[in-house]
Amino acid sequence: MSELRVAPSILAADFARLGEEVASVATEVDEIHVDVMDGHYVPNISLGNPVVASLRRATDRQLDCHLMITDPDTYAPQLVELGAESITFHPEVTDDPRALIAELHDRGARVGVALKPAHPLAMVEELLASVDMLLVMTVEPGFGGQAFREDCVPKVREAAAWRARLGASFRIQVDGGVSVEMIGAAAAAGADTFVAGSSVFGASDRPAAVRDLLATARAAMADGERHGSLRDPEPPDRARS
């Protein structure tokens, strides 16, 4: 089982003071989650290349860019060149997600694919052997501060079962509404990477908020392992055919 990670989402930070905001959590985390929104894929515009370039100069933490944009083929390689270590895109917007994954790997990035709440795991199953991460959205993408959707947790469990069956090691990231109250459900289902915006940047003691999230996730994961919910007794049906 891989080490658990919390990735604070700067969407909930003060954009006028981004360097200080990132520094306020940097001691606790390996990566910072950077939500790139273009006003087309989602009804919101957040930030783009110049901000990622500035962040790269401001921190030595890894930049985990989540692209909620309609043209990742153009912008994902540019973000890697600007210094992003990890790129996650929503694969339904590209004609050839495999080619984009290969290109980003060639450039040295880790690559993830993302599923909106309505999108089934079947949409990305063919890609999972080639990626470093699956992002299971637990809110409708576009805005921070929404409530965690518990109806997305079974998809996390399904993905963990699929990962075990493939013998693969891709991370399972959950993103949206992750709080100390909800993180346990995702961790017990097999998620290992937790994006947290409001629950970290909205806290009065941000480092403590990250530590609380991690401790809660670790306890829930250990519980999940004890009760066998992280094991895959039966392979998923589709895998049998």
Single out the residue of 21, 28, 31, 175 in contact with Zn ion (rule: CB under 5 A). Answer: 175
Query: Angle, nearest 10°, between helix axes 72-81 and 49-58?
Result: 20
Give 94 or 138: the residue with its C-beta nearer to ligand DX5.
Answer: 138
Structure-token pair, residue 142: 């576009």
Structure-token pair, residue 62: 């890894």
Single out the residue of 67, 76, 100, 139 in contact with ligand DX5 (rule: CB under 6 A). Answer: 139
Q: Is 132 a catalytic residue?
A: no
Q: Taking a C-beta distance cutoff of 8 angstroms, is the pair 34, 55 a contact?
A: yes
Least distance (Å) between residue 45 CB and ligand DX5: 12
Residue 79 contacts which entry, ligand DX5, Zn ion, none (Cβ below 5-8 A, type-dependent): none
What is the H or E stretch that residue 233 is in?
A: none
Q: What is the DSSP string of 10-74?
A: GGGS-GGGHHHHHHHHHTT-SEEEEEEEBSSSSS-B---HHHHHHHHHH--SEEEEEEESS-HHH
List the catalytic residue out of 35, 64, 192, 212: 35
Stretch of 48-56, 100-108, 142-150, 214-222 contacting ligand DX5, by CB under 6 A = 142-150
Active-site residue numbers?
35, 175
Chain contacts with ligand DX5 (rule: CB under 6 A):
9, 11-12, 33, 35, 66, 139, 141-142, 144-146, 175-178, 195-199
